[in-house]
A and B are shown apart, each in its own frame.
Chain A
Amino acid sequence: SYELTQPPSVSVSPGQTARITCSGDALPEHYTYWYQQKPGQVPVLVISKDSERPSGIPERFSGAGSGTTATLTISGVQAEDEADYYCQSADRSGIYVFGTGTKVTVL
């Protein structure tokens, strides 16, 4: 079945930039969304439609897409950004799919 591939983990020092990639063959055909999930909490949308930041999400979160790869960038990482991050899109049939997830650790 269709998969969206993310790196398992990303480590970054406070104030530095974290970049998380999401790769999938059908990404050019559908929007990519990004979710942040902290332990014991419901996922929170941080990027919508490839690059739109929902209301209330800090400006340090940004998204971009290029072909079969989407990227979530967190600029000036803060301790509170430590969480799991998931991309979400759809396969060619329109069935939704989540990425494999990336654990962001703030050193």
Chain B
Amino acid sequence: GESVGLHLPTLSVQEGDNSIINCAYSNSASDYFIWYKQESGKGPQFIIDIRSNMDKRQGQRVTVLLNKTVKHLSLQIAATQPGDSAVYFCAENDPEYGNKLVFGAGTILRVKS
């Protein structure tokens, strides 16, 4: 159930463009998913969540899409700003792992001005 340490992939986008960050999750039994943003030297910050009975949820400038068929989660950020630069982690709530969160490897988002 632990995520494995890996070198993080990087997504570079131009300020004002839309960003799409992808995540493949591991367990088809997972019933709840969260996206977190982590800035350098800080703890993860909750962005948006989605339950497995939904396939899309929108927040302010962010949208999460869930495709249970292929176990894929994505985070879309509209009109990306320099303040969006951070590492983004997806996390799945795995009932088979004691309802603990399992974190993805993370993606670095770099916003170019």
Q: Do A and B come from one complex?
A: no
- Give B contacts to A, CB under 8 Å: none
- Give A contacts to B, CB under 8 Å: none
